[in-house]
Amino acid sequence: MWVVAGVAVTVFIILHLSGDPAAVMMPLESTPAEIAQFRHAEGFDRPLWVQFGTFAWNALHGDFGDSLRHGEPALGLTLERVPASAELAFTALALAVIVAIPAGIVAAIRRNSALDVLARLFALLGQSTPVYWLGIMLILIFGVQLGWFPVSGIGGLSHLVLPAVTLGLFSSAKIMRLTRASMLDVLSSDFLRTARAKGVGSLRLILHHALRNAWLPIITVIGLELGTLLSQAIITETIFAWPGIGRLAVQAIYDRDYPIVEVVVLLSALSFVVINLIVDVAYALLDPRIRYE
């Protein structure tokens, strides 16, 4: 909880030092009196520590205030968009894992073969391709030219394909690279040589003995990637008009809509904390040597 509290304080201070929301929210022709009235009504004319005290007290009671742009409770507006963001992030991660882990294993087993070179090329391209470029390219090729998938908005499974591939590619490349490295480490270890000498079948050797020992770093990176995917979704959601938290956050930052930005950042921090917790629990499940007292 200290992490979340620390994030809350930092975000509050940075946001309030970064500019006056009245100048952005009010029409340009407003008079100084109208601007002053807005600042007073929203409490922006009070000392910063008083504003923070009120914010913290209300936040502890689940009240993050009304969005300056929408005039509705910020928490509700943000939570409404969680399912769309979660759907995209989990699908992207699932696609990434499904592609990356088998590819990583194959690349490790067939080290320096054509397959390995291909996998490494995929890792290089996947991690160096900018998301916005990839998104637009996929739209042009699979949406406009081939007409296979819709290019914007949320809907059936077909709407999910292009944004999930765009979002998942980077993670896929990273997980693939790590799986390959981790497997190579394990494959050259003594216990595996012993197992092979004892005549353990090669599929069982890889899946049961090698992969099980290579799991820990892979699980860690998958967990961290989920957190990253939630934040990277900002670009993907904007390109594909996906109605998630990322898009809400971008607009809120443009508008200096403090309540929304605070809720989004706190939610992200909270999700990182929860994901780390899940990863820690997963360690214990996967590795019998790890026990939490």
Partner 1 sequence: MNVRRPLALIAGLVLAASAAPLSSPAADSTVVISQGVDPVTMDPLQRTITPTTNAQLNMFDTLLRHDRDGKLIPWVATSWRRAAPTVWEFKLRHDVKFWNGDPLTSADVKFSIEKIKDPAEKSEQGPRVNTVDRIETPDPYTVRLVSPRPVALIPGYLWLTMIVDGKYWAEHGNAYQAEHPMGSGAYVFKSWTKDEELDLDVNPNWWHGRAPIEHVIFKPIPEAASRVAALRTGETDLITNVPVQDQLQLAAGRNTQLESARSVRVLFIAFNTLKPGAQDNKLVRQALNYALDVPAIVKTVLGGRGYPLASPLPPNFTGYDPKIPFYTHDLAKAKALLAQAGYPDGKGLELVINAPTGRYNRDKEVAEAVAGQLSETGAKVTTRIQEWTTYVNQVSQRALSPAYELGWGNDSYDADNTLTSLLSSDARLSTYSNPALDKILTDARFELDPLKRQALYTKALTIVHDEAPWLFLFEYEDLYASTKRLQWQARPDELLLCDEMKLSG
Residue 38 interacts with partner 1 (CB under 8 A)?
yes
CB nearer to partner 1: give 23 or 121.
23
CA distances from 20 to 192, 203, 214 (A): 63, 62, 51
Residue 70 interacts with partner 1 (CB under 8 A)?
yes
Among 53, 83, 130, 153, contact with partner 1 (rule: CB under 8 A): 153
Residue 80 interacts with partner 1 (CB under 8 A)?
yes
Residues in 242-281 at the binding interface with partner 1, rule: CB under 8 A:
243-244, 247-248, 250-251, 253-256
Residue 117 makes CB contacts below 8 A (sequence gap 6+) with: none
Residue 155 interacts with partner 1 (CB under 8 A)?
yes
- List the structure tokens of 17: 């030092």
Question: Considering only CA atoms, which of 230, 136, 214 is closest in space to residue 179?
Answer: 214
- Closest contact distance (angstroms) between CB of 69 and partner 1 is 5
Torsion of CA 10, 13, 14, 18, to 10 degrees: 170
Tokens 């409770």 belong to 73
Rg (CA), the chain: 24
CB nearer to partner 1: give 70 or 120.
70
Rounded Cα distance between 174 and 289, Å, is: 27
Residue 23 interacts with partner 1 (CB under 8 A)?
yes
Rounded Cα distance between 249 and 257, Å, is: 9
Binding site for partner 1 (CB under 8 A): 19-20, 23-32, 34-35, 37-38, 41, 69-72, 77, 80-81, 94-95, 97-98, 102, 135-136, 139-140, 143-144, 147-158, 160-161, 207, 211, 238-241, 243-244, 247-248, 250-251, 253-256
